[in-house]
Amino acid sequence: MPLPYTESVFSADIFRTVCEKQMKLYRAFDVWKRADEKTAVRYRCFESLLSKRFCVQSADFYRLPLNEQQIADLSRQFVELFIEQEPSSRSGERPTLEEAIAAHDRAFL
């Protein structure tokens, strides 16, 4: 008697869909870019642990002199946005981090 979740019952695509619905885990990390002598951009990035693809949730701009309240607000906004919206829904997942950043820039900057 075959097990209910064997390859003979489900295709790889169906199995992947079941896994994605059960466990959507992400690794969050930042990528920084110096825009000019007084401005830096922090890309708030995610890697899907299931697909191994990348997306950018947002880009935070910092200007000198730094504003402590702005820094705190951007950190709070990062968490709120993650909870409210699937990270990849903003500009899609891409196979490389560079492609994800470029897609985010095209969509939002």
Taking all residues of the chain, what is their mean pLDDT, rounded to a whole number? 87
- The dihedrals phi and psi of 24, each to the nearest 5 degrees, come to -100, 95
Q: Which residues pair with 25 in a beta bridge?
A: none
Where do the structural domains in the chain lie, given as residue ranges? 25-108
CA contacts within 13 A on the Cβ side of 12 = 0
Q: In which band, very low, low, confident or very high, does the pLDDT at 1 lie, cut at 50, 70 and 90?
A: very low
Mean pLDDT of the region 79-104: 94
Q: Kindly report, residue by residue over 42-91, the tens digit of the pLDDT.
A: 999 999 999 999 999 999 999 999 999 999 999 999 999 999 999 988 88
pTM for the model stands at 0.78
